[in-house]
Structure 1
Amino acid sequence: MARRGEEEYDYLFKIVLIGDSGVGKSNLLSRFTRNEFSLESKSTIGVEFATRTLQVEGRIIKAQIWDTAGQERYRAITSAYYRGALGAILVYDVTKPTTFENISRWLKELRDHADSNIVILLIGNKTDLKHLQAVASEDAQSYAEKESLSFIETSALDAINVEEAFQMILAEIYRTISKKTLSSSEETGSGPNAGIKEGKTIQVSGAEANTTKQCGST
């Protein structure tokens, strides 16, 4: 396929990253979109997003990844950002069992606020700390199967399986979208996220969309 312009793409997929504070959501986002990792990463305040355009199954997909704050006090703010999301990544820290135990709470919130057909991926992050791993891979895999989630373990620090994780969820979203007719996107063509909801192409002005931040606004 011929190389396309910076802002040309076939589909725009909105994906939300959710999970407890400190599990590495922001570093997963920066590793995937900018191939960067920061040991000094601070907790996300409110919500921010970054984008990356890539090819998935022969189509040009613009992935718009929203990083939601894990702190309890921001949950009321971030719940509005589930609207229009086609995919969600639930993240826990493999060295902290509590973050895995809280996945069920995040999953419930997600299912309460998001579209019922949303594609969900469970990620166990920080596998570079293998000697400290406290959540067994088998337990996470079993939970994922029970809840009909995809599952993968990653290390944002070592860039292990990060690309694969995002490719996995984007491909699954694309397969879900391609099974539907796009007529429903015209029927629901109201509101700021209407075009995103069914994967319809949205033209974004400006080439630096990946620097856009939304902090606590609705």
Structure 2
Amino acid sequence: MGSRAHYVVKADGSWKRRYTHWGAHSMELDLLAGPNAATRFAQGQQSCDRWLDELECEAAALIDHDERRLLWHSHCYEDVAYRAAVLAVMAPTWPGWRIEWAYGGLYDILDALGEPLHGRFRDRSSFQDDLRAPVRRTAGPSERDDELRGLRRLVEKFDAHQEVDEATQSISLLLHVVGALTSTAHQAGLETQVASDNAFAHRPMDLTDEEKVAVHAAFEAVRNKHSGS
């Protein structure tokens, strides 16, 4: 159970690897506010001494301050319009940075760091190359509607993420169930032992008011561009 992801922050020629057990499905939301907020968030995640296998790693991001480059991938590639909205909003929130999609997943992160390949996949698959092919869509009102749909979904998810992210919801539900089962067992005269560790640690977003305003300004700029206003 989990939504596993790696964050890597590189600066002054060295890098540090971080791990979040619950952050893969919300990675684009945690990156959206720009390099300072994303770095602060990444550094708040759990330190780790090994890489996940590629099948375990559902998302990954390399925040490279030396090259001013963000290399990342996550689940949002599954919705073309949504990913397009994410990348469009990142353009103004990451000024002066190269925003690059890691089509090879963790493979590309390791390659950028000069790390040896490991795990189940040691070669790039044809599927990864297929993802690079541009999506062909007919220009017109339907395309603009699709782009605006992706943006609306992004705005809704970003605002909801500031209140409570999916990880916190999942953990809250799980702990509620564990608590209920433990209470029932105690009432029946049974002894219980619940093992807990930092697998549940997932630092929530801590954006400043200024950072939130900047993200919403980027939303509005992208919306105006697509609506033609």
Shared fold per TM-score greater than 0.5: no
Higher helix residue share: 2
Q: What TM-score, normalized by structure 1, do the two folds share?
A: 0.24
Higher strand residue share: 1
Q: What TM-score, normalized by structure 2, do the two folds share?
A: 0.24
| Higher RCO, 1 vs 2 (CA within 8 Å, ≥6 residues apart) | 1
The structure having more radius of gyration, on CA atoms, is 2
